[in-house]
Amino acid sequence: MTDLTTNSTVTAAEGEARFGDYVLLLKPRVMSLVVFTALVGLLVAPVPVDPMIAFTAILFIALGGGASGALNMWYDADIDAVMRRTAKRPVPAGKVTPGEALTLGLWLSAISVAMLGLATNWLAAGLLAFTIFFYAVVYTIWLKRATPQNIVIGGAAGAFPPMIGWVAATGSVSLEAILMFGLIFMWTPPHFWALALFMKSDYHVAKVPMLTVTHGRRETRRQILIYTILLAPVALGLGFTSIAGPVYLAAAIVLNAIFLKGAWDIWRRDEATAEADAYATEKRVFRFSLSYLFLHFGALLVDAGLRAWGIA
């Protein structure tokens, strides 16, 4: 009897998901960025928020982001299966069925929006619902496979969390929230395209129109420079709002100067030079772009702390 039971379950065990597989559906690394930026958006707002309500708000903003990740993995399973970088994701690996990913995504979306609304206000909940819709439907289903500007448009979904954090605290959208949104929105294209230049990805196999494939690497270098130039006034503009102080302004000046220099260097290089030094400049700018965003939001937090202690 025991043999019968054991043998009959071998096949099922291979497709049986662990709890961690469901967690992976939520894209935890993306969630960490959502948590950080939403937390900054909430903490720099001029309205104090009860710690428990703040914790709940951040948790469900992150969970909403995770839900959109699960919906993305449900719809993109066919693409993920043919690309090396994503082939081991739970759905293409056969650990989680597409139906399970869809169900989890939809339920977590509903729960996170409802809980954020109950914890804070319904404008914040509405923005979270729109973010999930934007990422899952507008980006994943509609535009990702249709236009090489997919990164630009998809970046909007990643830019909403600090705005939602701000609205959760204040109940309204203001210039500060829009500029925090703009900072991430304008940062996303140069960040991802720098990565696309040195990551020999197989997007063409999956028929996803990435800029490097559709318009060439020369044009990608030009677009990186254009978006970095457009990013600078947004980042510096945020420095003249009520939430920023001397620390942010100083950081923004230095960080944007370095980023602009990096984008300029990328633009001036051709493929032969880049291949000769194994894309050293592109890799350097990509790594810096991660610090760029973290340090901008970190500086906002420092200024908020200085204000709270009456130093600035």
Instruction: Find the binder of another protein among 6, 172, 273, 291 (CB under 8 A).
Output: 6
Count the neighbouring beta carbons within 10 Å of the beta carbon of residue 42. 26
59 touching another protein, by CB under 8 A: yes
Instruction: Find the binder of another protein among 29, 52, 278, 311 (CB under 8 A).
Output: 52
Site for another protein in 93-152 (CB under 8 A): 115, 118-119
56 touching another protein, by CB under 8 A: yes
The span of 7-15, 68-76, 198-206, 245-253 binding another protein (CB under 8 A) equals 7-15
One character per residue 12-31, x = contact with another protein (rule: CB under 8 A)? xx--xxxxx-x---------
Q: How many residues bind another protein (CB under 8 A)?
A: 23
Instruction: Find the binder of another protein among 2, 29, 272, 310 (CB under 8 A).
Output: 2
> In the bound complex, what is the minimum distance in angstroms from residue 63's beta carbon to another protein?
10
Of 109 and 188, the one with the shorter C-beta distance to another protein is 109
> In the bound complex, what is the minimum distance in angstroms from residue 52's beta carbon to another protein?
4
> In the bound complex, what is the minimum distance in angstroms from residue 62's beta carbon to another protein?
13
> In the bound complex, what is the minimum distance in angstroms from residue 56's beta carbon to another protein?
5
| Half-sphere exposure in the Cβ direction for 220 (13 Å, CA) | 25
Residues near another protein (CB under 8 A): 1-2, 5-6, 9-10, 12-13, 16-20, 22, 50-53, 56, 59, 115, 118-119
